[in-house]
Amino acid sequence: MNDMKQKVESALETIRPYLKADGGDVELINISEDGVVEVRLTGACVGCPMSQMTLRAGVERAVIREVPGIRRVEAVN
């Protein structure tokens, strides 16, 4: 599981500059046994009407592409 966490963190690093450019960021919270990654969007991403699109089209796509076994990414508070 630690190897998977490192891979997820690495995938998040690839998209982090784009989030930070708009004043936001993402924080890894948990990875479940069944391949669900929980993240917390922070900064300007909180309350942004585009945050769901950012989560699906940006964060989830990057993580699923880079880490085998991940099925989806969910935002938590």
The count of residues in the chain is 77
Domains observed in the chain: 2-75 (3.30.300.130)
Phi, psi of 33 (to 5 degrees): -65, -30
Give percent helix, percent strand, percent coil of the chain, each to the nearest 5: 45, 25, 25
pTM: 0.91
Amino acid (1-letter code) at residue 29: I
pLDDT in tens, 2-60: 899 999 999 999 999 999 999 999 999 999 999 999 999 999 999 899 999 999 999 99
pLDDT confidence band for 62 (50 / 70 / 90): very high
